[in-house]
Amino acid sequence: MPHHINSNARHSNKKIFTWYEGESITSELYNGRLSLVTNHPEYGKASVNLTAIRESDQGWYHCQIIFPNRSPSARNNGTLFHLAVQGGSLIKIPPVNQTIMEGQTAFFHCVMKYPETSTIGWFKDGTPLEEVQDLIRRRHTGPDGSLSIDPTMMSDLGEYECRVNNTEGEFQFAKAFLNIQYKAKVIYAPPEVYLPFGQPAVLDCHFRANPPLKILRWEKDGLLFDSYNVPGVFYKSNGSLYFSKVDESTAGSYTCTPYNDLGTDGPSPIISVIVLRPPIFSITPKPIYIQKLGETAELPCEAIDRDGNNRPTIVWSRKDGSLLPDERHTINAGNLIITNLVETDRGMYECSATNEAASITAETELMIENIAPRPPYNLTANSTETAITVRWQPGYLRPNLEYTVWYRLTESPEWRTLRIMQKNIMEATIQNLQPGREYEFMVLSQDKYGDGMFSKTIRFSTQESSIESNEVNLMHHSNPLAGSISAPWNVTATNNVQGWLVHWQPPKRGSESVRLYTVRWWKEPEHFLIGTIETFDHFYQLRHLKEDAIFQIQVIATSINGEQLASDVLTIEVPSHRKTRALLIGSTVGIAFLLCALVAFLYVKRSCLRHLFVSGDEDGGAKESDKMNNT
């Protein structure tokens, strides 16, 4: 329903604010200080907000609603308010928020009531104007304390504050915000940009806009460049171009032109995009180097550009952020040389090769003989009633380093473990502990080479239980393992045609809380970790175990809250199938030889018998012939 909202100053009976169908009119004295309150749950729809209060604002105000389509349009409605202004003993007219175009003059009132006995100071965003270098030649403070800035720049946007002090030690301050609007403009454009071939890249347009950006137009080689028509190219939220995979067609001359509601200040200078292939390593360091104290270590590293024209910049650094030894290291043709090695030289090192397109890195580890790896150290803890958070410092840095926290009640013989699922995280929170009990903790580090060393143990207690949780505490004391799981049990391994089938029974307690199982196996007597797998089943098929060797197998159950408990270790002995095959082949050959001999014997025997039988028949026939001839 169409209606007017009028606010009048009762002492002058003048309209100071009118609102009708979304448009408002404000009198000059209240311009920039009076506005309609919108969408506030505690105030009515006709409420107004008055800022930068002045002494002259004191008095009665009348709010009245008028319906122009009704007869009569105005009735005896409305509300009277009285505004009492307290203080105001030093500032007569305070500054008011302003919005102006760049280049115009900004003027802030801060009229002192008693200029003879008062001093004024101006600040921008809390900094005295005398210290703002950009404003030194463009600002002026009048005799009454008012501030003018001419001409304004986009960097002048901010909050301005005037502070008035008098000789009696009293002070008063007032603030106002200066909003500088300008056309969208490019503030920086590099003449050349190198993008890495075959990799994703971003081409930025550095601009400023107030009001905010509406459109960012790109051109390439003088033609409109629309990312929607180019496969693999996208607009980012800030208007930058994102190339999912840079190729030779990406190269060219680009310009960007930003627009806002006020228009544009023009396109950027030409940005020449050059596609450059990232460097490649021609020589990389070995994964690990083992040296003795006092020796010299040389870690090689060499890289070339793919076109072979230039050599990338080689930089060596320590992965833990510590500095290379100043007087004991040199870099010669990309190789890092460290002389007179000391214990602190051990650790991870990185070789970085960089050209205009990209950087690549290679890692290596330097170890010192007869110096044991340092375990995690400096364990600290804090607690609640049912949880303790343990933190530690890494003894050394290696890729994919993992940690396991071992913990138990101080008087308990059974250790429990909590594996940290995220790599290189140096803290863990153990839940479901008993209130007011002391626990013992130590941390074990692990990597792909196996287990490291245990830290020193620390003891820490959970907080005493509160009165409100006595019932819960009684439950914990009666069942100290509440909320936890037990270990997998009855681990067996059966030999089959595929290898060894490992099978186990789920935990007797808390099996419904098991998230997964971890199977680990070691070769003995070296206790060398062969493999680690995670599974959701109660079995796992081990394949390709070395013959004629002894292995140890362990199954670890991990609960949904990260708690881990390990089964007993199972030891199996893998027989040598080569010996068995040799015996089988030998036996088979022997039997075959005997069978051949038997067949040969029977054949010879049969041949002899046949020969004898044939000879006998011939002798008998000859005798019969002789008898007939004689007759």
The answer to whether residue 629 is domain-embedded is no
Does residue 96 lie in a domain region?
no
Same domain, residue pair 498 and 466? no
Mean pLDDT of 300-316: 84
383 and 466 in a common domain: yes
pLDDT at 115 over 60: yes
Two tokens at 106? Answer: 């900004």
CATH number of the domain that residue 223 is part of? 2.60.40.10
Domain boundary (368, 392, 424) is at 368
* Closest listed residue to residue 446, CA positions, set 478, 400, 484: 400
Last residue of a domain, one of 472, 498, 531: 472
User: What's the average model confidence in pLDDT over 188-210?
Assistant: 92
CA distance 500 to 547: 12
**Mean pLDDT within 169-185:** 91
The pLDDT value given to residue 356: 80
Q: Tell me the one-letter amino acid at 563.
A: E
The answer on pLDDT for 253 being more than 80 is yes
Both 364 and 381 in a single domain?
no
Residue 268 has pLDDT above 90, yes or no: yes
Q: Which of 111, 173, 114, 176 is nearest to 146 (CA)?
A: 111
**Do 288 and 271 belong together in one domain?**
no
Tell me the C-alpha distance between 359 and 300, whole Å.
17
Residue 262, pLDDT > 90, answer yes
Give the model's pLDDT for residue 613. Answer: 60
94 belongs to a structural domain: no
Backbone angles phi, psi at 3, to 5 degrees: -160, 155
- Residue 13 forms part of a structural domain: yes
Over residues 525-543, mean pLDDT = 84
Q: Tokens in use for 260? A: 């806002």
Give the pLDDT of residue 466.
64
For the chain, what is the domain count? 7
Out of 377-381, 470-474, 599-603, which region has the weakest mean confidence (pLDDT)?
A: 470-474
Q: For residue 519, what are its two tokens?
A: 């199977």
Q: Length of the chain, please?
A: 631
Do 522 and 467 share a structural domain? no
CA angle centred on 44, ends 42 and 49, rounded to 5°: 85
Single out the residue of 49, 48, 57 nearest to residue 29, CA to CA: 57
215-220/206-210 β-pairing? unpaired
Under the banding of pLDDT at 50, 70 and 90, the label for residue 147 is very high
Cα distances (Å, whole numbers) of residue 35 to 7, 43, 149: 11, 13, 26
pLDDT confidence bin for 107, thresholds 50/70/90: very high
Is the per-residue pLDDT at 471 higher than 60? no
Q: Rounded to an integer, what distance in angstroms lies between the CA atom of residue 101 and that of residue 99?
A: 7
Residue 582: per-residue pLDDT? 59
- 73 found inside a domain: yes
| DSSP tally for the chain: helices H, then strands E | 2, 51
Q: Place 76 in a pLDDT band, splitting at 50, 70 and 90.
A: low
Residues of the chain with pLDDT > 90: what percent? 34
Phi and psi at residue 578, to the nearest 5°: -65, -45
Name the burial class of residue 570, with classes exposed (0-12), middle (13-18) and buried (19+) by CB atoms within 10 angstroms of its CB: middle
The domain containing residue 287 runs over which residues? 280-368
529 residue type, one letter: L
SS (H, E, C) 534-590: EECCCEEEECCCCCCEEEEEEEEEEECCCEEEECCCEEEEECCHHHHHHHHHHHHHH
CB 394 within 8 A of CB 376: yes
The predicted model gives 97-110 an average pLDDT of 92
Q: Which one is predicted more confidently, 585 or 402?
A: 402
Q: Examine the domain organization and report whether 272 and 284 are in the same domain.
A: no
Residue-wise DSSP of 151-188: S--GGG-EEEEEEEEETTS-EEEEEEEEEEEEEEEEEE
383, 322: one domain? no
* DSSP-assigned letters across all residues of 420-446: --STT--EEEE-SPPTT-EEEEEEEEE
pLDDT at 625 over 70: no
Residue 477 belongs to a domain: no
Q: Is residue 478 part of a domain?
A: no
In three-state secondary structure terms, 276 is: strand
Helix (H/G/I), strand (E/B), else coil: 322:
coil
Chain mean pLDDT for the chain: 82
Report whether pLDDT(175) > 50.
Answer: yes
Query: Based on the domain organization, do 327 and 361 belong to the same domain?
Result: yes
Distance CA 520, CA 488 (A): 13
In terms of Cα–Cα distance, which of 350, 200, 186 is closest to 271? 186
- Report pTM: 0.47
For residues 28-37, average pLDDT = 75
What is the pLDDT confidence band of residue 473, given thresholds at 50, 70 and 90?
A: very low
| 458 pLDDT more than 50 | yes
Are 568 and 544 in a shared domain?
Answer: yes
The residue-averaged pLDDT of 437-444 equals 93
Give, in order, the Cα–Cα distances in Å from 508 to each of 231, 385, 485, 511.
57, 27, 8, 7
Note whether 64 and 124 are same-domain residues.
no
Q: Give the pLDDT of residue 604.
A: 75
Q: What pLDDT, on a 0 to 100 scale, did the predictor assign at position 138? A: 93
What is the SS3 assignment for 626?
helix
The answer to which of 114-118, 220-224, 379-383 has the lowest mean pLDDT is 114-118
Position 211, amino acid: P
Residues 229 and 299 in one domain: no
Asked if residues 259 and 267 have their Cβ atoms less than 8 Å apart, the reply is no
Q: Is residue 88 part of a domain?
A: no
| Pairwise CA distance, residues 272 & 193, whole Å | 6
Last residue of a domain, one of 147, 181, 215: 181
